[in-house]
Chains A and B, each alone.
Chain A
């Protein structure tokens, strides 16, 4: 079992819906990440939350918004998504920024 837990595992949403993806880790890691992965492509970094500071990939559209309620939780709020946003969304954590990440199993998102 992975030590980074993501829920839900699968999500289907319409373009007008608002939904949230959740990620939790209990390894005491101080950095958490959201990645997006399209089929047969490598993961692409969306957001980093480290030491209570959020860093954003400027190419990520504003319909994605991260939230970090505490050092163990990282949420990704979704609003007015497009079909091209359908992908596997991966959460990861590390002890130190950029150290070997531990990934969750991902949320398979389909936008219809």
Chain B
């Protein structure tokens, strides 16, 4: 069974204090790893897709990286508006290849 574990569950940062969120996964044939941002009561907002180990993608203060066992979301000099829950999800090969398996998320709070 596909498993996605995110850590930490919650993270508090001061504005400008860089850090990383972790997403470790166990899947049979990874066909994509996805990062989303979700604000309270809203739908997840797509951030990145990573397909192979060594791949990196950047968007503003966010950078996502991928290894064979985990992905990191690096946040550089965060601002209060970066506060949200960050969700990691994986798509695996096989019969249920339409399914995204989500982790429980990391709640990020950035204090001014």
Contacts and interface: CB of A to CB of B under 8 A. Distances in A.
A98 B98 contact: yes
Given A42-B87, A88-B41, A103-B43, A98 B104 contact: no
A48 interface: yes
B21 to A, nearest CB: 14
What 6 pairs between A and B have smallest CB-CB spacing? A103-B43, A42-B102, A97-B98, A98-B91, A100-B49, A106-B43
A86 interface: no
B16 interface: no
Given A100-B46, A108-B41, A41 B98 contact: no
A92 B46 CA distance: 11
Contacts of A41: 104
Interface residues of B, number: 22
Interface of A: 2, 4, 6, 31, 33, 41-45, 48, 50, 55, 88, 90, 92, 97-106, 108
Given A88-B41, A100-B34, A106-B43, A42 B98 contact: no
A21 B99 CA distance: 21
Contacts, number: 58
A102 B46 contact: yes
B29 interface: no
Contacts of A44: 102
29 contacts: A2-B43, A6-B43, A31-B98, A33-B98, A42-B87, A42-B102, A42-B104, A42-B105, A43-B44, A43-B87, A43-B102, A45-B99, A45-B100, A50-B98, A92-B43, A97-B98, A98-B31, A98-B32, A98-B97, A99-B32, A99-B49, A100-B34, A100-B46, A100-B49, A103-B43, A103-B45, A105-B42, A105-B43, A106-B42
